[in-house]
Amino acid sequence: MKKKFRAMCLEVLLMSLAIMVKAQEKKLKIYISADMEGVVGVVTGEQLGSQGL
């Protein structure tokens, strides 16, 4: 019984570590544009495409 419990705990730990590693692979990219007028950001969803610029 103790062996099964230990095996389950180890399995949960390994799955948790795998999920954490997978989550860290995706990096958030933030683009900041600044010119003489100042800093600008995306205000609406239409600005995210090439036609919004």
Give the residue extent of every domain in the chain: 1-37
How much is the pLDDT for 23? 64
**Region of residue 3 (left: phi > 0; alpha: psi -120 to 50; beta: else):** alpha
The model's pLDDT over 19-43, given as tens digits with 9 standing for 90+, comes to 877 666 667 787 777 777 666 677 7
More confident site: 41 or 3: 3
At 38, phi and psi to the nearest 5? 130, -160
For the whole model, what pTM was predicted?
0.40
